[in-house]
Structure 1
Amino acid sequence: MTVHILCDFDGTITAEDNIIALMKAFAPPEWHAIKEDVLAQHISIRAGVGQMFHLLPSAEKTAYRDYLVGHIQLRPGFVHFLEEVRQNEWQFDVVSGGMDFFVHPILSGHVDPDHIYCNVADFSAETVRIDWPHACDASCTNDCGCCKPTIARRIVNPDDRLIVIGDSVTDFEIAKQADFVYARGQLITLCETEGINYYPFETFDEITHHLKEVPV
């Protein structure tokens, strides 16, 4: 049996959520209400993220990328965790509701681009538009944007042991399908509400230690 790990990016691999950090630095105040509607599940993730990026002028693309690459830090223990993944020959993929223009540069040298699934930002119009190469398939009606269950149906073997690592509502649907979940932030509350078995974490060192203690 193969262990297959699907890991969120924003607020999970990184110490803070990149989209929120970007909005705080560059977006007008309207983004706050959109964010709250997404977190409360009043609007879909795809609709909310699209609306927030629509607030940003495309002309500032370089400033957005440079700001995030320069300010965002990887969560402690992530690099060591990747070494553990490689030593055990576990499969590892990043499934992110973030955007290609910052996900790939931040993960450069750490994760093969072929194992990164994220959204694509289009800067060709006056404001930023989002393309959704991993939108929901016919089995999902949640309008996820980057649909993690859809990705899992494509890349995870049904016989694999699926481990999910995440922190928010964007990870909730795939957490429901996981054999085990490592959770922080809002995902903890959602897992408890749904009765999903999880282990809380703040650093990847905690995940690495737990994986050594508990057979996977």
Structure 2
Amino acid sequence: MSPTSEAPEIAILVDYDGTIATVDVTDELVRTSASERQWLDLELAYRRGDIGSRALLRAETRLLPGTAADLPDLARDQPHDPTFVPFVEYARAHGMTVEVVSDGLGFFVAPALATLGLGGLPVYSAALGYTPTGPEITFPNGHPACQVCGTCKRQRVLLHQAAGRHVVFIGDGYSDQYAAAHADTVFAKAELATICERRGLPFQRWRTFDDVHAWLTQAQARGALSGPVARPYVCGPETAR
């Protein structure tokens, strides 16, 4: 395929915890708000597959402080990959769609992006708010039928593919596995890279967004990005049919 006007549009979906933020902010918030045993028991149940991320996040929300004012400063002062902002600027300048997909607590993502000058970047995450009785979490970006994940990252991939876009997914962890199984190009590091290797999913290794930038520039120059490709479902209500 040559780099012509027929090249597909590109949608870039980016995880937040451990990807844009260089720490897992959700994990750190829960660990500082609860006992190590409480956090570890929930995390192990999630990793064993006993519960999905939706149940995990509900349980973690109950461990948070009773008022927003008592949340640790980590939610406000998160370290970010310094190459993310120039990467987004590059992608937007070249007509690519960029959005953040997070399956964590989510409430800190949009404010953090605003501090980086990216307040208009679309964010798909859970919604956590405080009521007179304490914190409550809802899942406006969950799958309409499947109750496993808090935010259905796979659904975002499929929606962009249905519009004819080549979907690039960038992530680092366990909650990224379903999106990685369906995206057209996957950038994986840390635990997500291990999952991709174990399951035979093709992926590109990355350390910073400069790596993604360089790969995309070369792939576009070669005309190497094809239209979306359908893949077998690996999660969701369809697997029960």
Equivalent residue in structure 2 for 1:162, among 167, 170, 190: 167
Q: For residue 91 of structure 1, what is the aligned residue in structure 2? A: 97
Taking the aligned partners of 2:103 and 2:196, their CA distance within structure 1 comes to 19
Taking the aligned partners of 2:82 and 2:97, their CA distance within structure 1 comes to 21
Does residue 29 of structure 2 align to residue 28 of structure 1? no
CA contact (8 A) 1:100 1:119 kept: yes
Q: For residue 236 of structure 2, what is the aligned residue in structure 1? A: none
Deviation string 1:8-52 (CA, Å, 9 cap, x unpaired) is 111111101110111222222311110122233331111112111
* CA gap 1:23/1:76 in 2 versus in 1, 3 angstroms: same
Displacement of 1:121: 0.8
Equivalent residue in structure 2 for 1:189, among 167, 190, 194: 194
| Structure 2 residue matching 1:43: 3-state secondary structure | coil
CA contact (8 A) 1:134 1:151 kept: no
Taking the aligned partners of 1:169 and 1:125, their CA distance within structure 2 comes to 33
RMSD (CA atoms): 1.9
Does residue 57 of structure 2 align to residue 49 of structure 1? yes
Taking the aligned partners of 1:28 and 1:177, their CA distance within structure 2 comes to 36
Q: For residue 211 of structure 2, what is the aligned residue in structure 1? A: 206
Q: For residue 80 of structure 2, what is the aligned residue in structure 1? A: 74
Displacement of 1:122: 2.8
Q: TM-score, normalised by structure 1?
A: 0.89
Displacement of 1:64: 2.1
CA contact (8 A) 1:57 1:126 kept: no
Q: For residue 152 of structure 1, what is the aligned residue in structure 2? A: 157
Q: For residue 119 of structure 1, what is the aligned residue in structure 2? A: 126
- Greater C-alpha radius of gyration: 2
Does residue 11 of structure 2 align to residue 4 of structure 1? yes
Q: For residue 58 of structure 1, what is the aligned residue in structure 2? A: 66
Q: TM-score, normalised by structure 2?
A: 0.80
> Gapped runs of 5+ residues in structure 2?
1-7, 226-241
Displacement of 1:65: 6.5
Deviation string 1:82-141 (CA, Å, 9 cap, x unpaired) is 12101211011111113343111101121415x111111132154422101011133xx4
Displacement of 1:75: 1.3
Taking the aligned partners of 2:151 and 2:144, their CA distance within structure 1 comes to 11
Taking the aligned partners of 1:6 and 1:133, their CA distance within structure 2 comes to 17
Displacement of 1:157: 3.5
Taking the aligned partners of 2:147 and 2:201, their CA distance within structure 1 comes to 19
Equivalent residue in structure 2 for 1:133, among 133, 140, 147: 140
> Gapped runs of 5+ residues in structure 1?
none
Does residue 177 of structure 2 align to residue 172 of structure 1? yes
Deviation string 1:41-89 (CA, Å, 9 cap, x unpaired) is 3311111121112112322x1342643222x111131111112101211
CA contact (8 A) 2:111 2:119 kept: no
2:184 is matched by which residue type in structure 1?
D
How many percent of aligned residue pairs carry the same amino acid? 28
User: How many equivalent pairs are there?
Assistant: 211
